[in-house]
Chains A and B, each alone.
Chain A
Amino acid sequence: MSSEFFIPDPEGQVPSAEGYFGAFGGKFIPEALVAAVDEVAVEYEKAKADPAFVAEFEDRLVNYSGRPSALTEVPRFAEHAGGGRIFLKREDLNHTGSHKINNVLGQALLTKRMGKPRVIAETGAGQHGVATATACALFGLECTVYMGEIDTERQALNVARMRMLGAEVIPVKSGSRTLKDAINEAFRDWVANVDRTHYIFGTAAGPHPFPAMVRDFHRVIGVEARRQILERAGRLPDAAIACVGGGSNALGLFHGFLPDSGVRLIGCEAAGHGVESGEHAASLSAGEPGILHGSRSYLLQDEEGQITEPYSISAGLDYPGIGPEHAYLRDIGRAEYRAVTDDAAMQAFRLLSRTEGIIPAIESAHALAGALEVGRELGKDSLLVVNLSGRGDKDMDTAARYFELYDAAEGESK
């Protein structure tokens, strides 16, 4: 590998120096955080230009995380998607089981560089929390993870993993008790402890420079996928497909194909019980522009700017906002977004398990459901790359309840 992940965009225009992707992004934070966020921006610029930093990051990706991740063709699954070819980018095979480790290794190295002994993080599904706890164990950093109380219940396995790794996990009881509330609490901690703490933000959202920095650390996904699909299929795909909550795995994949105008970039949002039901997390499909967690993007909100509660069966997509670069990519027409319901995602979850022996994360199953739709639209000559952003072990309790796999006689099923 080389430092190809840190090559600036061909246009070199996004984000601007102020952190804007077109009309989206920026830095909406209190003065108490301005110095810390500016320090992150300055140190990140220095780090990505420092060959020693880049070499250490890439060494960890290879020798610790196990990159490059495989690109797996899934022909039995593809039979259900119009009969074309589908390849999965296997981020589920990374150490800790999802794409999250890419960003966390980068930011943990940055934390060391800044000389801060303590890290905080938010987590929804628990994947970012587990990855952060892992990196903190690896680098000897103190670690506190904030997690919505509802998510600690539906992702109990990941709570145990984080605690095993030595992290403190704090269940958040305020608001909707999910991802956005975990982010609120993490920001409060950061304001109070900013001198010795770095906030390893888990997705490509938040105040500048987080959207661009998190994206850059995940760029490896798309860079590898582009090279692998050319080797394997001899041509670029018709579409690159990923799920979007905050949107970091999608941006990582998309950026590998951004200059290839013939490759459609398709993000799959969580439609929950259906966008028309009002119970969903489809910020781009059904939201309006606004400011949350430090940047301007699309949000689920009422007419007076109060954030409305999102819903998704997937803890990792259960968020009322989306990274600002996705709002920008949609507005300029470069990326397109679809809303995928709980039911469609769960059908794809089971289908991949039964046809290919791969149990995906429920988040990633939203991308698989999107691929089934797109494949059927494009027909048998189509070639798709889908980001399998994480593995589904953490979701087995949710899936077992959904599919009634527990023994009903024991009263575990409904």
Chain B
Amino acid sequence: MSGNIQLLNDTLAQARAEGRSALIAYVPAGFPTVDGGIEAVKAVLESGADVVEVGLPHSDPVFDGPVIQTADDIALRGGLKIADVMRTVREAHAATGKPILVMTYWNPVDRYGVERFAVELAEAGGAGCILPDLPVQESATWREHAEKQGLATVFVVAPSNKDERLKEITAAGSGFVYAASLMGVTGTRASVGEAAAALVQRTRAATELPVCVGIGVSNGEQAAEVAGFADGVIVGSAFVKALLDAPDEAAGLAAIRTLTAELAKGVRGNV
């Protein structure tokens, strides 16, 4: 079975055809439990998210903020394995038919075996990977296997990237481009940085790929603001925080359904 890069491309094209931004949600696997994580992924996809990035937790999430590190620690203390992440992708995709990517650090993939990881992710129905600490110049082996398995390789771009670097990164990527809208690690912010719009504009000059903006959005109003200039709005820490703050699993699922619905309105310009 081949990976679902085409489903990802079609989903983003469909959102564009509807004249709106796509809503992309980040949900860590294994948090608060493996089954609870699967329910969370299904919940956001059923309540308005177009795409989900499933986080594969890492012991040393150097480039994430404290909210995601807390979730990662809970998942790993619970004994989460890569097989559980693959099951999360498989069950959530089977239940919803929507595109699901995996987001993680390079060491777990490198250690697990690049080919083995790509083959298993494609077999699970995954659409691709985001590997923020794997720069384009180190990514040839991964891209070879991803391409063979029908998986997208989504690269992150930052405001400090020069135009030449944006060309180099986007030429190697597929699916979409992840534009980090604020300098800084992932975490909710009071307002969305103005640098985002400029970065999206410069990225569009370098590539035909959809440009989705991440880091910072936590409510419908901010989602609408970003949707005004980006092809997709990526929301991560706000979902994890909603799950962390909930008194129990049922309340957590209810909270992320409500948040997803608000954000889904936001990306359609209805606040």
Residues of B near A378 (CB, < 8 A) are none
Min CB gap B106→A, angstroms = 5
Q: Is the CB of B160 within 8 A of A30?
A: no
Q: Is the CB of A305 within 8 A of B63?
A: no
Contacts of B69 in A (CB 8 A): 174
Which residue of B has the minimal Cβ distance to A184? B62
| CB-based contact B82/A31 at 8 Å | no
Chain B minimum-CB-distance residue to A32: B158
- Interface hits, B14-59 → A, CB 8 Å: 58-59
- Is B12 part of the binding interface, using a Cβ–Cβ cutoff of 8 Å? no
In this assembly, does A410 line the interface, its C-beta being within 8 Å of a C-beta of chain B? no
Bound together, the chains give a CA A384 to CA B62 distance in angstroms of 40
B residues less than 8 Å from A183 (CB atoms): 62
Tell me the count of chain B residues lying within 8 A, CB to CB, of chain A.
40
By a CB distance below 8 angstroms, the chain B residues around A303 are: 111
Q: In the complex, what distance in Å separates the CA atom of A192 from the CA atom of B183?
A: 6
A293 at the interface (CB under 8 A from B): yes
- A32 adjacent to B183 (CB under 8 Å): yes
Cβ contact of B82, chosen from A18, A191, A292, A304, cutoff 8 A: A304
Minimum Cβ distance to chain B for residue A210 (Å): 14
Could you say which of B129-137, B204-212, B221-229, B245-253 contacts chain A? B129-137
Residues A188 and B110 in contact in the complex (CB < 8 Å), given A35-B162, A36-B160, A292-B60: no
| Contact A306:B156 (CB < 8 A) given known A28-B106, A194-B183 | no
* Interface presence of B263 (CB below 8 A): no
Q: Could you say which residues of chain A place their CB within 8 Å of the CB of B73?
A: 174-175
Q: In the complex, how many angstroms separate the beta carbon of B160 from the nearest chain A beta carbon?
A: 4
- Indicate which residue in B59, B109, B110, B160 contacts A307 across the interface (CB closer than 8 Å): B59
**Would you call A301 and B160 a contact (CB within 8 A)?**
no
By a CB distance below 8 angstroms, the chain B residues around A29 are 133, 135
Is A26's beta carbon under 8 Å from chain B? yes
Residues of the B chain whose Cβ atoms lie less than 8 Å from the Cβ of A307: 59-60, 107
Chain B contacts of A30 at CB under 8 A?
63, 132-133, 156, 158, 180
A-B contact count (CB 8 A): 113
Residues of B near A291 (CB, < 8 A) are: 105-107, 110, 133
Contacts of A299 in B (CB 8 A): 107
Contact A187–B63 (Cβ < 8 Å): yes
> Most chain-A Cβ atoms within 10 A of its Cβ — which of B60, B162, B184?
B60
The answer to whether A31 touches B60, judged by C-beta atoms less than 8 angstroms apart, is: no
Contacts of B138 in A (CB 8 A): 26-28
Query: Is A137 positioned at the interface, with any CB of B under 8 Å from its CB?
Result: no
Q: Is B171 an interface residue (CB 8 A)?
A: no
| B residues less than 8 Å from A184 (CB atoms) | 60-62
Query: Are A31 and B111 touching (Cβ within 8 A)?
Result: no
Per-residue CB contact flags for chain A residues 169-196 toward chain B (1 = under 8 Å, else 0) read: 0000011000011011001100110110
Residues of B within 8 A of A32 (CB): 63, 156, 158, 160, 180, 183-184
Name the prevailing secondary structure of the A interface residues.
mixed
Residues from chain A with Cβ under 8 Å of B81 in the complex: 304
Task: Determine if A233 is an interface residue (Cβ-Cβ < 8 Å).
Answer: no
> Restricting to A226-268, which residues have a CB under 8 Å from any CB of B?
none
List A residues 1-47 near B (Cβ within 8 Å). 18, 26-32, 34-36
A30-B158, A31-B180, A180-B60 as given contacts; A290 in contact with B111, CB under 8 Å: yes
Question: Smallest distance from the beta carbon of B114 to chain A beta carbons, Å?
Answer: 11
Near B by CB (< 8 A), chain A positions 215-235 give: none
Taking a contact as CB atoms closer than 8 A, the residue among A191, A288, A294 that contacts B184 in the complex is: A191
The answer on a CB contact under 8 Å between B106 and A174 is: no
Closest to B184 in A: A192
Q: How far is the CA of A232 from the CA of B63 in the complex (A)?
A: 50
CA distance A279 to B139 in the complex (A): 34
The reply to whether A31 and B76 form a contact with Cβ atoms under 8 Å apart is no
Contact B108 A195 (CB under 8 A): no
Supplied contacts A35-B162, A175-B59, A301-B107, 15 more A-B pairs, CB within 8 Å? A18-B137, A28-B134, A31-B135, A31-B157, A32-B156, A34-B160, A175-B73, A188-B63, A191-B183, A192-B185, A195-B183, A304-B112, A305-B112, A307-B60, A307-B107
- Sample (21) of A-B pairs whose CB atoms are under 8 Å apart: A26-B138, A28-B138, A30-B133, A31-B158, A32-B183, A35-B160, A36-B160, A183-B62, A188-B185, A192-B184, A194-B160, A194-B183, A195-B183, A291-B105, A292-B60, A294-B133, A304-B81, A305-B105, A305-B108, A306-B108, A307-B59
Q: Top 5 A-B pairs ranked by shortest CB distance?
A: A305-B111, A305-B108, A35-B160, A192-B184, A31-B158
